Amino acid sequence: MAVKRLGCLHAHHSNIRYLEEGLDREVFSCLHFVDPGAIHWLTRAAASEAEAGQVQAKLRGQLEWIAGCGVDAIVITCTNYIAAMSPLEQVLEATGGIPVIAIDEPWFDELLKLGDEAVVAFTNPATVEGTMERLHAHAKQQGRAFKAQTAVSGTGCFELLLQGRETAYAEQVEAFLLGLIHHSSAPVAAAQLSMTDAAARVEAASGARVLSPMQALRSRLEKLR
């Protein structure tokens, strides 16, 4: 079986590890592209139509660049970048038809399988609006009336990740997710890839399932084999 090559676009270098450790290396190889300015630009773009256009043009150029590297599929792990993506037809035009997997889409599918409601947990407040808009649109396309509560971790949690303090970040996320499980009867889902480790530890400690994007991505990529 030939190894499938994935072009992975990230807004932060810390996301690289999750794909490298979470995928079968005998089946997939990853070529990583990191745009650390994405979070800054996407925050500005939210308040300016002109800058939103610049972000779309930048993303299109990145997709064209990655597609030219001989990849079998492209995975975008930045949820804000995903929300800023052009319509699918334009995205596929930029990649020459190479599949583009937005990491939240497989997660949406798995989330809807859990039932009609959930608590969706975030550490980065800037990703909430775009992700939830896409989730509700995805549910509507499937004829589902999905009830989702959002929960955002305490002030300063996401900044720990940006500062490179990944252990402290994971510890705060773990406590945050455990608190949600103890206070909610609905399933809890971790919305961001950076929450993967904490979600796994919480599952092991509590026995409750905490759906993370990495779990769902593995299932989707099986279809490329």
pLDDT per residue rounded down to tens, the chain (225 residues) = 678 999 999 988 888 999 999 888 888 999 999 987 776 776 666 556 666 677 777 888 888 899 999 999 999 988 777 777 766 556 667 778 888 888 888 999 999 998 889 999 999 988 898 889 889 999 999 998 889 999 999 889 999 998 989 999 999 999 999 999 999 989 999 999 999 999 999 999 999 999 999 988 888 887 776
Alpha-carbon span 23 to 215, nearest angstrom: 10
Phi-psi region of 41 (alpha: psi -120 to 50; beta: other; left: phi over 0): alpha
**pLDDT confidence of residue 176:** 97
Which among 124, 130, 161, 104 has a CA at the least distance from the CA of 52?
130
Alpha-carbon span 78 to 175, nearest angstrom: 23
**pLDDT confidence of residue 198:** 94
Q: Token match 């510890």: residue?
A: 171
Query: In terms of CATH architecture, what is 4-102?
Result: 3-Layer(aba) Sandwich (3.40)
**pLDDT confidence of residue 97:** 82
The hierarchical CATH code for the domain 104-213 is: 3.40.50.1860
**pLDDT confidence of residue 11:** 84
Which among 220, 154, 167 has a CA at the least distance from the CA of 194?
167
Fold equal for 4-102 and 104-213: yes
Domain residue extents for the chain: 4-102, 104-213
**pLDDT confidence of residue 43:** 65
